[in-house]
Amino acid sequence: MGIVENIIIILYLAFVGYLGFLGYKQTKNTTDYLVAGRDTHPFIMALSYGATFISTAAIVGFGGVAAWLGNSLLWLTFFNIFVGIFIAFVFLGNPTRKMGYRLNAHTFPELLAKRFDSKFIQLFAAIIILLFMPLYATAVLIGGTHFLTLYFNVDYHLALLVFSIIITAYVIAGGLKGVMLTDALQGTIMFVAMVILLYFTFDSLGGIKSAFEKLDIVWETTVSPILSQELSSFKPGSADFMMKLSTLWGFSGWNKMPTFLSPGWLFVITTITLGVGIGVLAQPQLVVRFMTVKSKQELNRAVLIGGVFIVAMTGIVFIVGSLTNAWYYEFNEGKNALQSAGTIGKVIPHFINTAMPKWFSFIFLFALISAAMSTLSSQFHTMGTAVGRDLIEQIKGGGNSVMITRVGIILMIVLSVALAYVFDNQPAIIARSTAIFFALCAAIFLPSFIGGLFWKRMTKAGAISSMLVGFFVSSFWLLFVHFKEAKELGISKAIFGVDSLLGGKIIFVDALVISLPLSILTAIIVSLLTKPMSQEHLKKCFD
């Protein structure tokens, strides 16, 4: 690596460190550390929300899945914009902001707990975050580390260690102010890199029309020849194994949706599109962003910024991920993306380092580092507040939230790094972990969150029952029914002698589709059957 690149890397890290220090200097109290003082600029809030939402899980993980399954993933982009930005900002943002201010809530679990006057809800929500968010953080860590190892040609474990130490430093020091300032910088870098990436990809393939036409040719040339072979004849997880699997699931091309209600269609729609697209509304690290601005006007100004950012991030990476098949076929001895890169998680890093000019690979390095750091810093901050504010402080009845949160951040980083060592070689682990966490959050938190904002008749019993049903139904489906998790975890096999308790296409239906409706129904029925909350309490929440 040249001296100029080294200087740029040092300057980048120095600037990130400076923003963390700036957050530290501006943090005077618990409100500053946990919700950035509730006076964040809309540009910073929108980029922080978007950069937290879009991580290496989206760029590396889902970009690699797009190389495998094609442009069907663009349905997720639509849901990300319509649900994750428009509905979230326009309909949920301001009520969340106002209720958080009225109740002096500093975290998502605390907001739910104070709305329903329940310490149990705060403790339970904190435990859910601490149990499952490390899985999501692990996915992000793996995605960022893969690119670092390919670009710098260093050991995966060394890259993972250095990467995590850098993030730890500014999250612990600057709190949410430091996190959001660095998010804004990192979001800007991500946006610019994605626009350049899209241009280079189309240009190398002869334009937009030519690029998509080539995808059909590559499918016929590289996938069709393996259709007559048995899945068992390929090494599990290999490129040909994954492509054969996609055809068995109902896929017939990268420009086409899989056959309606086929396993592939159910996977793309229920797990990827609905699981992530709806799950975004109940992400603790995103909901708290609405509590960092001081008025509805700031939220309205942030909608356009957030929408454009999400289009650029998810739409571009899904299109490019799919088109990598055409590029590799044309410039790499007639192979598709998976055959060239080896695994789903390595497609995007390998493509950037192989297909793009060296100077752009260097720029994209910062985009991926930024994507990982922005999401991880928010995740670690959320997990730290779950330890400090929502768990230990509630059990002890007080304490130094900031200090305990910092200790919690360190513990959660250590756990996430350990998991990243363990799960690195799992096929599509990045996208799967993300989808699982988003779907779990939706099933457990969404009915109580939205009901708490808009339905005064919702009761404490309704909220608690809904959260428990969402948790247990989701857990049961993942452990004993869903085709991938149930088989790999092996609990169903050990107890009942079968990989899944059910058979047929239903095992490809994501847990969200089953658990969220039951969670909503439980919230409504139990609330109507139990005593309404006092008018005095409701007045404190809404007036």
**pLDDT per residue as tens digits for the range 502-531:** 888 999 999 999 999 999 999 999 999 999
Question: How confident is residue 238, by pLDDT bands cut at 50, 70 and 90?
Answer: confident
Do residues 541 and 115 lie in contact, with contact meaning Cβ atoms separated by under 8 Å?
yes
Closest CA to 498 of 510, 506, 486: 486
- For the segment 217-237, the average pLDDT, to the nearest whole number, is 88
Please state whether the predicted TM-score (pTM) of the whole model is above 0.75.
yes
| Residues 6+ positions from 61 with CB-CB distance below 8 Å | 139, 143, 344, 345, 428, 429, 430, 431, 434
Share of the chain above pLDDT 90, in %: 32
Question: How confident is residue 171, by pLDDT bands cut at 50, 70 and 90?
Answer: low
Closest CA to 142 of 376, 321, 340: 376
- Average pLDDT score, the chain: 83
Q: Who has greater pLDDT, 313 or 348?
A: 348
For every residue of 375-419, DSSP letters joined together read: HHHHHHHHHHHIIIIIIIHHHHT---HHHHHHHHHHHHHHHHHHH
Statement: residue 303 has pLDDT above 80: no
**pLDDT per residue as tens digits for the range 397-434:** 766 666 777 777 788 878 877 877 776 555 555 666 77
Sign of CA dihedral 492, 494, 495, 497: positive
Provide the pLDDT for residue 424.
Answer: 58
Report how far residue 491's alpha carbon sits from residue 481's, in angstroms, rounded to the nearest whole number: 11
Name the range with the highest mean pLDDT among 1-15, 348-362, 408-422: 348-362
Question: How confident is residue 133, by pLDDT bands cut at 50, 70 and 90?
Answer: confident
Report how far residue 118's alpha carbon sits from residue 124's, in angstroms, rounded to the nearest whole number: 10
Statement: residue 73 has pLDDT above 80: yes
Provide the pLDDT for residue 212.
Answer: 93
Domains in the chain, ordered, with CATH?
3-440 (1.20.1730.10)
Closest CA to 73 of 336, 248, 348, 273: 273
CA 452 to chain centre: 24
| Helix 3-26 / helix 358-385 crossing angle, nearest 10 deg | 20
C-alpha to C-alpha distances, 409 to 110, 192, 508, 542, nearest whole angstrom: 18, 30, 35, 33
